[in-house]
Amino acid sequence: MNIDNATISQGHLPTPNPGGINVIVDVIRAFTTCHVAFLQGVRRILLVATVNEAFELKERISDSLLAGEVDALPISNFDCGNSPFELLNRDLKNTTLILKTTNGVTSTLNAMDAERIFVCGLCNAEAVSKYIYGLAGDDKAIQIVASHPTGDDDLACAKLIKEGLQRELTMQDLDQAAFAVKYSKAARKFLDPNKADYTFEDIKLCYSIPRLQLVIEAREKNGLVVLSETKRYECTSNSAQ
């Protein structure tokens, strides 16, 4: 592998990238939550900018669930939080998930000016790297967006994806990225037993790297930004826990 035209940016306002490929990273927790949701049978995920938009969509769409957070905290009257662990214990077959989050969703909605847009956490970074390598030519500008403006977890994952476009990822690469996420600043509040709105089980899923990984793509359809599963990969198994 060797794709030299990938760049990393950070924050909610990616550079316009018409004709290129955008990869939006949110490890803790939005796109880990999405990955778990698809594995649990979700048919599609709709990204929304506001809580009101989420409630309006739920009224229009049968068999839909509201998930998300504002400033990392659960949203009143939503069906679930932005929690991969919470979704792991739900039967989501053929449902539509409506998702509102502070960083990953916001950055994705602002990153749709590209030919292809993908979202990922650490849980599917290897699969996304493999898939993009198969798409990209010399003329494809690749922008990897660490969605949290200061998040060291997202930045570590973005760097891993870029490395995966240069060469085959190793167990050491994956373990180092998992370690960076586990001990990131963003993870600390989940380790505090006095913070009832956070669970360490979420972070365990955010830094664990499964063998089965999904490529998740964002597309605009009928005025909505929709996430859907594009491809599945059997990837390198990671032992970091």
Question: What tens digit of pLDDT does each residue of 7-42 get?
Answer: 999 999 999 999 999 999 999 999 999 999 999 999
Give the per-residue pLDDT at 215.
98
**DSSP 3-state assignment of 80?**
strand
The b-or-e profile of 166-205 (16+ CB within 10 A means b, else e) is eeebeeebbeebbebbbebebbeebeeeeeeebbeebbeb
Confidence (pTM) = 0.95
Lowest average pLDDT, out of 29-43, 182-196, 227-241, goes to: 227-241
Q: Which amino acid is at 15?
A: T
Return the CATH number of the domain spanning residue range 6-234: 3.90.1560.10
Give yes or no for residue 4 having a pLDDT over 80: no
**Runs of H (alpha helix) within 185-232:** 200-207
In this predicted model, which residue has the larger pLDDT, 194 or 159? 159
- Write down the domain spans for the chain: 6-234
pLDDT of 139 reads: 73
**Does residue 136 have a pLDDT over 70?**
no
Q: Give 113's Cβ-side CA count (13 Å radius).
A: 7
User: 138: pLDDT confidence band, cut at 50, 70 and 90?
Assistant: low
- Is 57 a residue whose pLDDT tops 60? yes
Burial class of residue 46 in the structure, from the number of CB atoms within 10 Å of its CB (0-12 exposed, 13-18 middle, 19+ buried): buried
Among 93-107, 117-131, 223-237, which is the least confidently predicted range? 223-237
How many angstroms separate the CA atoms of 177 and 172, rounded?
Answer: 9
| Separation of alpha carbons 55 and 213, rounded Å | 30
* pLDDT for res 137: 61
